[in-house]
Amino acid sequence: MWQSLAESLDGAETQPVNKEEKCRKRAYAIYDELARGGVGTIITGFTSVAANDYYFEGLMRLCDDALISQYGRLTDIIHAQEAAAIAQLALGAY
């Protein structure tokens, strides 16, 4: 499931716009459900800080300012339920 979430928030360069938007909505819904479930903190998972890092398929990325709005919306969704959000920033192999 977590790899699927990674694919949901990955950058547009590898996914058609309609599939990407559908996946993002799914990821936002899953994180919303987790936050509504009463957890205090959600760690979003392995999030690469490099555009050319392909440690595993579907890696989430936060390597470009263009992705900030996606993660901003994600944190807004989590914070709306009074939960904290932590991005697990990482650099795998590239």
Q: How far apart are CA 85 and CA 6, in angstroms?
A: 15
Sheet-wide strand order for 84-90:
60-61, 41-48, 84-90
pLDDT score recorded for residue 34: 94
SS3 state of residue 59:
coil
> What tokens appear for 73 in the block?
């919306």
Q: How many domains does the chain have?
A: 1
Q: What pTM was estimated for this model as a whole?
A: 0.71
Which pLDDT tens digit goes with each residue over 12-70? 444 433 455 666 788 889 899 999 999 999 998 788 888 888 776 666 788 888 888 88
Residue 42's domain comprises: 2-90
